[in-house]
């Protein structure tokens, strides 16, 4: 009997594959079949565990929702000869809610199991099915089941009835041409993934560079009917999904009117209501109903004082409605290194909701899940992002304002005094804006003093120091910067070389990218980063103080660096500034980018103050 190719592939001896990896994906196949009213997905995975380190992949986790049950779950272990040595038992399968730390309730669950063998290498095969009654996405597939592991053979098959319209997005993978069979259209993608990637310093998200296929239904019924024909139509579906959920109870409306009574300026009214939101609600994820895409009503938040990003943004919208201030529920992908939306492929490519409030002079973006950030503050996770503004009949993308170098800066003022041979006292003030402001604002509001000090010690740029005192200061709740004041004693700050004592000029914390020979991905810098140091060194009276460097200004297409000094009556003042610009650079420019960082690091690390007798 002639065996099918797929079966021959599974039974190939383990020794025919490389064991340079702790684990390898031998086969990853997904079959998706659409009928007029349902979608069924079938998964087949074959893993090879090569050593003990690879055993972290023996724990298999399968997510599903309360509406979409898993069926046909089967798994077994094969030895090096392809012989089944153990089958998964029903008692081996565990199930629990996929509730996260910040969630009250989620309608998401996971099944998981673990299969191990004591002789390497061995293989784990598992398969299962999931059925969906409501869906927009048919498939989101990559042969990279794990981006850090190779996949020898990946396959995606989509079966839809003739006449059933779909949208297809293909990235770094050969285009599939449909074949007609028995009244169906069959799309097949075959792709391996034999050069695994890992994220690198200033690299795009891996999901933007790996082979990828996305397939959605053109017309769907997900809660209500909708279409992915355009962003206008998709936005209308989201609008109608949330329609009528931004109505406050009369008692809450009375509170709002009393709160804003006497205030005429629209922006000040919005600020007042935003502070009310911050002071009276908290963020808790509630991921149920229509896959978490429909918001909870404003009345729910008013009664319970909590909600997720959707519910809190919708609630803030309802507060503004009472004041006759228009605002727009908006969707964005929030992350410090975000996946960019595919503009010609309408679907849910978002993970966060915010609120756009347009005024005559400008627009304000409100992050409604953070109780302590300033009114209108645009954080690092959403700055410069295209947000889909949900507007009936006119949903469209608007770019959230981008950080400037002045918006994202760490400004240190360092005063060194009481120099006693190799030791010194230091007073250091950090003014933190942008990304660092977000971190320390959160630290200041959500952590106790012991936890705060643990993080502050990590910021101090000396290996040996005594922390005498520290204080975090924020001017007011809408201040977009925070200050950290430190008092230190620094033993062995300088080093004695004969008749000279050398004190290093405190180096900046510069990026540490991969050397060019190891780099695989292009450069993407999502926002500029700026560092400023102002150093005042009160020289001791037992010697002559000088600096070891020449004033230098270094300018590049990637950024700039400056170091200058002045001397007056035994006081040396040093000014340093480093800025790296936002931008994207292909891999063939990486050597230049790396040299830019390397040259600045040499300048910065070789700056000293020398005390000579």
Q: 426-429: long-range contacts at Cβ-Cβ below 8 A with a sequence spacing of 24 or more?
A: 426/486, 426/487, 426/488, 426/489, 426/490, 427/485, 427/486, 427/487, 427/488, 428/460, 428/485, 428/486, 428/488, 429/483, 429/484, 429/485, 429/486
Share of the chain above pLDDT 70, in %: 94
In 326-422, which ranges are E strands?
328-332, 352-358, 363-366, 386-389, 396-399, 409-420
Say yes or no: do domains 5-217 and 226-399 share a fold: no
Segment holding 25, helix H or strand E: strand 23-34
**Confidence band for 262, pLDDT divided at 50, 70 and 90:** very high
For 5-217, CATH gives 2.60.40.3140
Cβ pair 552, 608 in contact under 8 A: no
Task: Output the pLDDT for position 164.
Answer: 94
Tell me the per-residue pLDDT of 555-579, one tens digit each, with 9 for 90 and over: 999 999 999 999 988 899 999 999 9
Task: Output the pLDDT for position 594.
Answer: 98
Give the burial class of 83: count Cβ atoms within 10 A of its Cβ; 0-12 exposed, 13-18 middle, 19 or more buried. Answer: exposed
Task: Output the pLDDT for position 397.
Answer: 97
Using CA atoms, how far apart are residues 533 and 567, in angstroms rounded to an integer? 16
Task: Output the pLDDT for position 613.
Answer: 77
**Confidence band for 521, pLDDT divided at 50, 70 and 90:** very high
Task: Output the pLDDT for position 17.
Answer: 52
For 409-612, CATH gives 2.60.120.1130
Tell whether the model's pLDDT for residue 108 goes beyond 80: no
Cβ pair 368, 379 in contact under 8 A: no
Dig out the tokens for 546 from the structure: 């000088």
Task: Output the pLDDT for position 542.
Answer: 78
Task: Output the pLDDT for position 7.
Answer: 41
Tell whether the model's pLDDT for residue 4 goes beyond 50: no
Measuring CA to CA, how many Å separate 198 from each of 201, 228, 335, 594?
10, 32, 18, 18
Tell me the per-residue pLDDT of 300-319, one tens digit each, with 9 for 90 and over: 999 999 999 999 999 999 99
**Confidence band for 144, pLDDT divided at 50, 70 and 90:** very high
Least confident of 92-96, 385-389, 431-435: 92-96
Secondary structure of 527-584 in HEC code, one letter for each residue: CCEEEEEEEEEECCCCCEEEECCCCEEEEECCEEEEEEEEEECCEEEEEEEEEECCEE
**Confidence band for 15, pLDDT divided at 50, 70 and 90:** very low
Tell whether the model's pLDDT for residue 11 goes beyond 50: no
Tell whether the model's pLDDT for residue 97 goes beyond 90: no
Tell me the per-residue pLDDT of 501-516, one tens digit each, with 9 for 90 and over: 999 999 999 999 999 9
Tell me the domain boundaries of the chain. Answer: 5-217, 226-399, 409-612
Tell whether the model's pLDDT for residue 12 goes beyond 60: no
Task: Output the pLDDT for position 13.
Answer: 44
Residue 532's contacts (CB-CB under 8 Å, 6 or more residues apart) are 409, 410, 411, 412, 575, 576, 577
Using CA atoms, how far apart are residues 221 and 237, in angstroms rounded to an integer? 10
Tell whether the model's pLDDT for residue 466 goes beyond 90: yes
- Dihedral pair phi/psi, residue 198, rounded to 5°: -135, 155
Using CA atoms, how far apart are residues 438 and 433, in angstroms rounded to an integer? 8
Cβ pair 46, 124 in contact under 8 A: yes
Residue 4's contacts (CB-CB under 8 Å, 6 or more residues apart) are none
Tell whether the model's pLDDT for residue 454 goes beyond 50: yes
Tell me the per-residue pLDDT of 192-239, one tens digit each, with 9 for 90 and over: 999 999 999 999 999 999 999 999 999 999 999 999 999 999 999 999
Using CA atoms, how far apart are residues 611 and 214, in angstroms rounded to an integer? 65
Least confident of 5-19, 122-136, 257-271, 458-472: 5-19
Using CA atoms, how far apart are residues 453 and 191, in angstroms rounded to an integer? 50
Closest by CA to 8, choosing from 42, 41, 46, 43, is 46
pTM of the model: 0.91
**Confidence band for 5, pLDDT divided at 50, 70 and 90:** very low
Average pLDDT, the chain: 92
Pick among 3.10.620.30, 3.40.50.620, 3.60.70.12, 3.30.420.10: CATH of 226-399 = 3.10.620.30
Task: Output the pLDDT for position 414.
Answer: 97
Dig out the tokens for 92 from the structure: 């081996």
Tell whether the model's pLDDT for residue 447 goes beyond 90: yes
Dig out the tokens for 519 from the structure: 């780099």
Using CA atoms, how far apart are residues 205 and 10, in angstroms rounded to an integer? 32
Using CA atoms, how far apart are residues 149 and 206, in angstroms rounded to an integer? 13
Provide mean pLDDT across the span 517-521.
96
Task: Output the pLDDT for position 286.
Answer: 62
CA 392 to chain centre: 29
Report which of residues 376 and 19 the model is more confident about: 376
**Confidence band for 487, pLDDT divided at 50, 70 and 90:** very high
Tell whether the model's pLDDT for residue 85 goes beyond 90: yes
Dig out the tokens for 613 from the structure: 């007798």
Tell me the per-residue pLDDT of 20-70, one tens digit each, with 9 for 90 and over: 899 999 999 999 999 977 999 999 999 999 999 999 999 999 988 767 788
Task: Output the pLDDT for position 264.
Answer: 95
């Amino acid at each position: 009997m002639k065996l099918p190719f797929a079966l021959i592939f599974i039974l190939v001896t383990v020794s025919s594959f490389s064991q340079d990896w702790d684990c390898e994906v031998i086969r990853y196949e997904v079959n998706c079949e659409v009928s007029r009213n349902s979608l069924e997905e079938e998964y087949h995975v074959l893993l090879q565990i090569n050593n003990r380190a690879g055993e972290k992949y023996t724990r298999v986790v399968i997510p599903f929702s309360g509406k979409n049950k898993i069926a046909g779950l089967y798994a077994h272990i094969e030895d090096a000869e392809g012989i089944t040595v153990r089958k998964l038992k029903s008692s081996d399968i565990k199930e629990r809610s996929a509730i996260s730390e910040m969630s009250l309730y989620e309608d998401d669950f996971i099944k998981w199991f673990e299969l191990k063998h004591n002789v390497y290498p061995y293989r784990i095969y598992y398969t299962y099915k999931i059925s969906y009654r409501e869906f927009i996405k048919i498939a989101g597939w990559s042969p990279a089941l794990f981006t850090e592991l190779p996949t020898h053979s990946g396959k995606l098959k989509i079966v839809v009835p003739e006449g059933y319209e779909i949208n297809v997005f293909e990235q770094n993978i050969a285009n599939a041409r449909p074949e007609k069979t028995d009244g169906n259209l069959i799309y097949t993608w075959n792709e391996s993934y034999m050069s695994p990637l890992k994220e690198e310093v200033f690299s795009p998200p891996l999901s933007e560079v790996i082979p990828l296929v996305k397939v959605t239904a053109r017309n769907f019924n997900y809660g209500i009917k909708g279409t992915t024909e355009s962003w206008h139509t998709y936005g209308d579906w989201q609008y109608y999904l949330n329609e009528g959920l931004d109505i406050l109870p009369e008692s809450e409306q009375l509170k709002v009117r009393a709160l804003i009574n006497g205030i005429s300026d629209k922006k000040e009214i919005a600020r007042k209501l935003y502070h009310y939101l911050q002071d009276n609600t908290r963020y808790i994820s509630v991921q149920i109903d229509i896959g978490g895409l429909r918001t909870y009503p404003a009345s729910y938040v008013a009664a319970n004082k909590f909600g997720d990003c959707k519910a809190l943004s919708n609630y803030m919208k309802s507060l503004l409605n009472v004041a006759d201030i228009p605002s727009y529920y908006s969707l964005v992908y929030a992350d410090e290194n975000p996946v960019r939306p595919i503009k010609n492929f309408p679907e849910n490519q978002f993970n966060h909701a915010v609120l756009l409030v347009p005024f005559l002079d400008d627009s304000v973006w409100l992050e409604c899940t953070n109780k302590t950030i300033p009114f209108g503050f645009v954080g690092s996770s959403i700055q410069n992002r295209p947000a889909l503004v949900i507007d009936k009949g006119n949903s469209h993308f608007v770019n959230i304002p981008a950080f400037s170098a002045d918006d994202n800066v760490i400004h240190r003022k360092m005063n060194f005094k009481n120099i006693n041979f190799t030791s010194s006292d230091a007073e250091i003030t950090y003014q933190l804006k942008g990304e660092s402001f977000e971190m320390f604002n959160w630290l200041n509001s959500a952590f106790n003093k012991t936890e705060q000090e643990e993080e502050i010690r990590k910021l101090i740029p000396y290996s040996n120091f005594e922390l005498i005192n520290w204080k975090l200061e924020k001017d007011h709740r809408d201040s977009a910067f925070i200050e950290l004041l430190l008092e230190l004693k620094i033993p062995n700050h300088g080093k004695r070389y004969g008749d000279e004592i050398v004190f290093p000029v405190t180096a900046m914390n510069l990026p540490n990218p991969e050397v060019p020979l190891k780099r695989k991905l292009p450069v993407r810098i999502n926002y500029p980063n700026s560092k400023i140091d102002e150093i005042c060194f009160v020289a001791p009276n037992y010697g002559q103080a000088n600096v070891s460097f020449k004033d230098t200004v270094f300018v590049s297409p990637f950024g700039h660096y400056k170091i200058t000094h002045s001397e007056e009556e035994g006081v040396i003042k040093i000014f340093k500034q480093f800025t790296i610009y936002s931008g994207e650079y292909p891999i063939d420019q990486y050597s230049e980018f790396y040299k830019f960082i390397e040259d600045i690091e040499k300048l910065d690390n070789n700056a000293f103050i020398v005390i000579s007798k």
